[in-house]
């Protein structure tokens, strides 16, 4: 072993005089420790009730997920059908005589086409639990409820339309032109 290596090893634990630079750094450190507002208080807990992962970051960069887009399309199409059915219901209640309104309305609803929205609903029912990562409910042995309801959507059909717009002439319907109101 060379003498300078031996001296360095032997002097490792020996205290040595501080340099001016080390004294300044220690003084700055003491000042920082004295000025910390949380000194002597327990540190606040940062509870993390989630686990960030790469998939979450990727999803946030890619915009809405497929189930979100599909649900919005289904809701938009359903609202469009409700508006169109409402307009047809009002028109028929104004034009049709009271005794033929029910048959006329059932015929109108029977001809109504819900094919476009009904193509999306089975896809939603099949893929929503996976895409939305629904949890399982062990008591029901099925996926957990979403906002208190089952996630599965029912297809739109004649019964759906008649439930919202029954085949009963509305009481506030205007009388037909040329007929006199009942006295």
Report the distance separating Cα 27 and Cα 118, nearest Å: 74
Inside any domain, residue 139: yes
Inside any domain, residue 34: no
- Mean pLDDT across 89-101: 90
Per-residue pLDDT tens for 11-61? Answer: 777 777 888 999 999 999 888 888 888 777 887 777 777 777 766 766 677
Inside any domain, residue 90: yes
Inside any domain, residue 173: no
Inside any domain, residue 123: yes
Inside any domain, residue 99: yes
Please tell me the total count of domains within the chain: 1
Per-residue pLDDT tens for 96-134? Answer: 888 899 999 999 999 999 999 999 999 999 999 998 888
Inside any domain, residue 81: yes
Full residue range of the structural domain in which residue 76 is found: 64-164
Instruction: Please check the confidence at residue 152 and state whether its pLDDT lies above 70.
Output: yes
Instruction: Please check the confidence at residue 173 and state whether its pLDDT lies above 60.
Output: no
Inside any domain, residue 159: yes
Please give the pLDDT value at position 160: 95
């Amino acid at each position: 072993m060379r003498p300078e290596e031996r001296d360095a090893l032997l002097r490792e634990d020996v205290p040595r005089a501080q340099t001016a630079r080390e004294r300044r750094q220690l003084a700055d450190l003491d000042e920082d420790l004295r000025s910390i507002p949380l000194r002597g208080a327990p540190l606040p807990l940062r509870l993390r009730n989630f686990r960030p992962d790469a998939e979450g970051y990727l999803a946030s960069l890619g915009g809405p997920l497929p189930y979100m887009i599909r649900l919005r399309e289904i809701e938009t199409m359903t609202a469009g059908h409700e508006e169109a059915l409402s307009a047809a219901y009002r028109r028929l209640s104004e034009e049709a005589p009271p005794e033929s309104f029910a048959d006329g309305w059932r015929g109108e609803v029977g001809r109504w086409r819900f094919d476009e929205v009904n193509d999306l609903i089975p896809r939603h029912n099949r893929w929503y639990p996976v895409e939305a990562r629904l949890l399982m409910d062990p008591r029901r042995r099925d996926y957990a409820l979403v906002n208190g309801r089952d996630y599965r959507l029912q297809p739109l059909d004649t019964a759906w339309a008649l439930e919202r717009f029954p085949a009963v002439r509305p009481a506030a319907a205007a009388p037909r032109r040329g007929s006199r109101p009942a006295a």
